Structure 1
Amino acid sequence: MNDIGVVHRTITRAARADVDALAPFGVSTLHEAMGRTGLMRPYIRPVYPGAALCGTAVTVLLQPGDNWMLHVAAEQLRQDDVLVAACTTECEDGFFGELLATSVRAQGGAGLVIDGGCRDIAALEEMDFPVFSRAVNAKGTVKATPGSVNVPVVCANAVVRPGDVVVADVDGVVVVPAERAGAVAEEAARREANEEDKRRRFAAGELGLDMYAMREPLAAAGLTYID
């Protein structure tokens, strides 16, 4: 899918206003607002409770057991960018830890999503540096084989292009294409307003069976109540 050994220094990021508009919404809401697309596989999990992030993607293609390109990618970060790292084949080694997090933060990076392993979890939590990873693994890596930076990658089954918006929370990770970010934020706001109305109705005791007019289709499907 990608050329190996290239770094694209110029990328088109989603508009800052659109990123800010997406930030208040949870991953579940944004996934629904995009027609149930954009989710990474659910094995990508926050490495500590409460981790969350929202920012524009600087993408990294790693070689297995080799974190060289994460150091290369750090130079390409701008304020509030998120590193999104995929690997040329499955690997759960500890590509990332406290020292790289310190470097990434100094360059303005807002966090990391990696289809690989991460370590130094206690230190990352103390720093409040959000990482979403495939695994927690103390095994270290080498710096020997080039990958690429700012190329399209497939990370945990989601296509991520440089400059797309990445949002992550306890429910998972979702990727919003840069050109759709504004429209998705508007749809997410509409969904949340609709959900607030439903929340009030549920709290008042109304059943989903009636709110969603389920009784007639359930009967047509053959559901029978027996006293």
Structure 2
Amino acid sequence: MKNVVVTDPPRADAQDAATLGGFGVATVHEALGRVGYLGPEYRPAWAGARMGGTAVTVVCWPGDNLMIHVAVEQCRPGDVLVVTTNSPSTDGLFGELFATALAHRGVRGVVLASGIRDVSELREMGFPAWSRAVSAQGSVKNTAGAVNVPVVLGGQLVHPGDVVLGDDDGVMVVPRADVPRALTAGQARLDKEAAARAAFQQGELGLDRYGLRERLPEFGIEYVSWADHQRDAG
């Protein structure tokens, strides 16, 4: 890996990123065909956190957060800091002091493939953070890495400037070029869910709304009375 800081990557529109963040991870993930999800191991530091922003990517060495310090300078309002390590690590590379610096620069949150610390302080600040671990294990600042290069988290490729979404359901990435489709498809899914919600509130069943009832025989499902079931079981 080349030790490089890329200073001017193109970014998706910050307002588009915020809009997608409002749609929510599950909605956008489904709307795009169930792609981009980092997996269930990426959890929020505190319940209710939500964000949508443009990625500033960071590669660190395990137990070393030097490059996060370097990356802070590259962040602008509407960004999300996305941090990975070049081999697995759960050390707490990020905490309240970093969050304070990033909040001052208008950063909307952070996602780490390693660990975070100072959870109580992050919650009190309202700074959104997702990680694979919570760990009090500290870090050093000894080894160079890279900023604003493509990284992989949870099996998903994240380029600088891509949109990163996070909420209680986890984290996902939307490639910068796919943002217009995500906005259209996400809004359509929200509208569809709103219509279904209204129907369910009136008593309609999913079996009928989604056309599943007529398909039940295809699955080999049959309805039998309790008495017949007991007789057949005996």
TM-score range, shorter chain: over 0.9
* CA–CA distance in structure 2, aligned partners of residues 41 and 196 of structure 1: 26
Structure 1 counterpart of 2:200: 202
Contact 2:27 2:190 in 1 (8 A): yes
Q: TM-score, normalised by structure 1?
A: 0.95
**Partner SS state of residue 226, structure 1:** coil
Structure 1 counterpart of 2:117: 119
Structure with greater helix percent: 2
Structure 2 counterpart of 1:129: 127
Structure 2 counterpart of 1:152: 150
Q: TM-score, normalised by structure 2?
A: 0.93
Q: Quote how far apart the aligned CAs of 1:17 are.
A: 4.0
Structure 2 counterpart of 1:110: 108
CA displacement, residues 122-162 of structure 1 (integer Å, 9 cap, x when unaligned): 11111111110111100001111111100000012211100
Stretches of 4+ aligned residues off by more than 3 angstroms: none
Q: Quote how far apart the aligned CAs of 1:221 are.
A: 2.4
Structure 1 counterpart of 2:89: 91
Q: Quote how far apart the aligned CAs of 1:215 are.
A: 2.1
Change (3 A) 1:17 1:123: closer
Equivalent position amino acid for 2:224 in 1: I
Structure 1 counterpart of 2:50: 52
Q: Quote how far apart the aligned CAs of 1:89 are.
A: 1.2
Q: Quote how far apart the aligned CAs of 1:20 are.
A: 3.7
CA displacement, residues 5-54 of structure 1 (integer Å, 9 cap, x when unaligned): 11100100002342243232011000011111010111110101111111
Bigger Rg, which one: 2
* CA–CA distance in structure 2, aligned partners of residues 106 and 226 of structure 1: 64
Structure 1 counterpart of 2:66: 68
Structure 2 counterpart of 1:35: 33
Q: Quote how far apart the aligned CAs of 1:224 are.
A: 1.5
Structure 2 counterpart of 1:190: 188
Q: Does 1:140 align with 2:170?
A: no
Q: Quote how far apart the aligned CAs of 1:109 are.
A: 1.6
How many residue pairs get matched? 225
**Partner SS state of residue 151, structure 1:** coil
Q: Gaps (5+ residues) in structure 2?
A: 226-234
